[in-house]
Amino acid sequence: MLEPFKHILQTQRIVLASGSPRRKEVLNNIGLNFEVVPSTYEENLDPANYPNPADFVIDTAAHKVEEVFERLNKDPVKPNFIIGADTVVVFENEIYGKPKSEEHAFEMLRKFCGKSQFVYTGIVLKTQRDTVKFFEKSEVEFGELTDEMIKAYVNTGEPMDKAGGYGIQSIGGTLVKSVRGDYFNIVGFPVYHFCKQLVDLLQKNQND
């Protein structure tokens, strides 16, 4: 989808306001040239203050972007695009971020066994003139797992930096029975929706 615009994108300063190695890998894989500037925004928003998970992840992503935007806009070469993202898992109307401890990770994963949860990722794409906000939602169904299986997975350390306590693109994929929706959204970055919004912005700029 981005190929017709590669000549334009190569001239732009594109910033990913996230230190997530998964998001970096996804953007690298689609051939985007960008720099990583992790946001220093303290993620302390209360999900209870939001009517739904989508609003929560979008607002968290927006705060990350604004912090990086204000910091980098002082540079001689200002950023053309800043990308922010936030991902959570929702199970039985409760929001799950990254586990706080191995015990917490075990409890989370045990709840998911044999059931479905939903992964929400909020994306904010900011230029010098426009800000686009959107989200993606995917469904993940876990298989039936024994406590021994869950403990062994937690002991790998993989769950500790991931929303919901699992990484579908790695060992955590062995826990997943099925998915519905955008796989990359579950990884942490909805590729198709992002590319569609980026193309819309590029076309708008061409027509202005």
Catalytic residues: 86
d(CA 144, CA 170): 18
Backbone φ and ψ of 58, nearest 5° = -65, -45
Contact 136, 82 (CB under 8 A): no
d(CA 149, CA 23): 27
> Which residue is associated with the tokens 């061409």?
206
d(CA 139, CA 137): 7
Report the 10 Å Cβ neighbour count for 48.
7
d(CA 203, CA 208): 9
